[in-house]
Amino acid sequence: MLSTSIFMMFLSINKSLTTDVYRAIGESISGILICYVAICSHSVHSVKWKLLKIQLERFEQLFYALKYQSRRIMSKVFIVVLIWAWHGLIGISLICIPIRTWQEKTIFYTANFYISVVSTNIFIMNDMLSERYMFICSKLKELTEFPCMTRSKLKLIIRFMKATDEMVDTLNIIFGWPMLFCVNSTVVEVVIETFYLITLKRTVGTLILSSFITGWKIVVLVIMVMSCNAVEECGKNVVQACYKLHHKTANKKMKSQILLLATYAEEWRPVFSAAGFYDVNQKCLNSIFSASINYLVIIIQFNMMVSIPKNT
């Protein structure tokens, strides 16, 4: 999708290449890629989706104290999807990116709606995982204050950690490629829309609303990335709580068991990956923004070179 979007951007800049043939090829490739991503994330991983459902049910049984969380977060799904659907309709009507045919509108709106669904699912799952990791951390802090540790309690905490680790692995398998698609396509859309905002002449009202739509895409991308980063930070807090408990415990036998618990926590620390290409956390935001600025500068310079009349 990244290469296809850049290809379509190049065609829109260089007017000599914007023929019906090139446009049809670009629309076909974009449609095929969107369908491919949807099939990979849902059909190919259908077994993983069933496993995810089983793990969620196990979560409700294991973390029985947090049952309210699953009901509380459902309201966020409806709100986020509605806002993104409104954004997609307004984006097409305001022509942030000049769209001429209904095929382009369909591809643009489908891609944006798919991004909204994936981003919402990732945000919901990360919200649940953050609550679970904070629950584990609170139990460890209680044991730090009252170090009457038993082997059964240690095994129970290890069960908690193992369940959350399996959930993170399943989410990486299901949402790895969709997450890569969401990040890359959002970056490309933001670069293209910013380019048109700078180069095209618009009214003040249209310019403000178009800037709001572009900014909203950046906000959604940051929220998705930071939700993954929040889970990762919660995992680090669990490791720190284990080492604090190890420091405060006087029993040598318990110290060795707690050290083993800290080793498990370090090994099972949650990390979200975009299909193995890069880790999705706060550090990747710097790379995303710097790459977007570099692409934008290159495109503007290329457009200036193309628009300069040649000396005959």
Q: Give the per-residue pLDDT at 18.
A: 42
Whether the predicted pLDDT of 185 surpasses 60: yes
- Is the model more confident about 23 or about 75? 75
Q: Give the per-residue pLDDT at 199.
A: 77
* Inter-residue contact 284 to 278 (CB < 8 Å): yes
**Most confident of the following: 51-60, 88-97, 121-130, 248-257:** 121-130
Nearest of 192, 236, 233, 199 to residue 214 by alpha carbon:
192
**The two three-digit tokens of residue 276, written as one number:** 């193995």
For the chain, the residue count is 312
How many helices, marked H, and strands, marked E, lie in the chain? 10, 0
Q: Give the per-residue pLDDT at 95.
A: 52
- What is the mean predicted confidence (pLDDT) over 267-288? 89
- The contacts of residue 207 (CB under 8 Å, 6+ apart) are 197
- What is the mean predicted confidence (pLDDT) over 238-257? 81
**pLDDT category of residue 248 using cuts at 50, 70 and 90:** confident
- Is the model more confident about 25 or about 118? 118
Say what angle helices 151-199 and 46-62 make with each other, to 10 degrees.
130
- Is the model more confident about 229 or about 86? 229
CA distance 176 to 190: 21
* Inter-residue contact 191 to 232 (CB < 8 Å): no
**pLDDT category of residue 230 using cuts at 50, 70 and 90:** very high
- What is the mean predicted confidence (pLDDT) over 74-86? 58
**The two three-digit tokens of residue 166, written as one number:** 């399996």
CA distance 172 to 167: 9
CA distance 48 to 273: 17
Judged by average pLDDT, the poorest of 57-66, 98-107, 151-160 is 57-66
**pLDDT category of residue 305 using cuts at 50, 70 and 90:** confident
- What is the mean predicted confidence (pLDDT) over 8-33? 45
CA distance 312 to 308: 12
What's CA 217's distance to the chain center, in Å? 12
Q: Which residue has the tokens 């990762």?
A: 232
The pLDDT mean for the chain works out to: 72
- What is the mean predicted confidence (pLDDT) over 27-54? 54
Q: Give the per-residue pLDDT at 286.
A: 86
Whether the predicted pLDDT of 312 surpasses 60: no
CA distance 245 to 224: 32
- The contacts of residue 156 (CB under 8 Å, 6+ apart) are none
**pLDDT category of residue 142 using cuts at 50, 70 and 90:** confident
Q: Which residue has the tokens 């984006």?
A: 91
Whether the predicted pLDDT of 49 surpasses 50: yes
Say what angle helices 102-145 and 204-248 make with each other, to 10 degrees.
30
